[in-house]
Amino acid sequence: VKKQFMARRSTPPFPLPAPGAFPPAAMNPLGRFMDPEAAKKKAVKKQFMAKIKEDFLAMVPEAVKPEVEDVSVTEMICGDPECAPVDTIIRIIYAKAPMRTFGIPREVEEVTDEDLKDFAPTGEVLAGWARGEDLDWPPLPDPGEPPELQLRFAEGARVECRVSATKWAPGTIMKQWYREPGWETGNYAPYQILLDNGKKIFAPQDTDVVIRALQDPTAQGGAEPMAQG
Could you read off the pLDDT of 63-92 as tens digits, one per residue?
A: 999 999 999 999 998 776 666 789 999 999
Share of the chain above pLDDT 70, in %: 77
Tell me whether the omega of the peptide bond preceding residue 138 falls within 30 degrees of 0, making it cis.
yes
> Which tops the pLDDT comparison, 199 or 36?
199
- Letter for the amino acid at 109? E
89 phi, psi to nearest 5 deg: -110, 125
Mean pLDDT of 206-228: 70
Asked if residue 20 has pLDDT above 60, the reply is: no
Give the pTM: 0.57
Q: Which residue from 153, 150, 148 is spatially nearest to 210, judged by alpha carbons? A: 153
Phi–psi pair at 96, nearest 5 degrees: -130, 20
How confident is the model over 151-202, as pLDDT tens digits? 999 999 999 999 999 999 999 999 999 999 888 899 999 999 999 999 999 9
What's the confidence (pLDDT) of residue 222?
46
Q: What is residue 27's predicted lDDT score, i.e. its pLDDT?
A: 59
Q: Which position has the higher pLDDT, 229 or 80?
A: 80
Q: Which is more confident, 40 or 31?
A: 40
The whole-number pLDDT of residue 83 equals 67
C-alpha 85, offset from chain centre: 11
Q: Are 169 and 197 in contact (CB under 8 A)?
A: yes
pLDDT at 7 over 80: no
The beta strand positions in 95-214, using DSSP E, are 100-104, 158-162, 168-178, 189-195, 200-203, 211-213
User: Which pairs from 220-224 meet CB under 8 Å and 24+ separation?
Assistant: 220/170, 220/196, 221/169, 221/170, 221/196, 221/197, 222/160, 222/163, 222/167, 222/168, 222/169, 222/170, 222/171, 222/195, 222/196, 222/197, 223/163, 223/164, 223/167, 223/168, 223/169, 224/163, 224/197, 224/199
CA dist 7 and 1 (Å) reads 10
75 sits in which H/E element:
strand 68-77
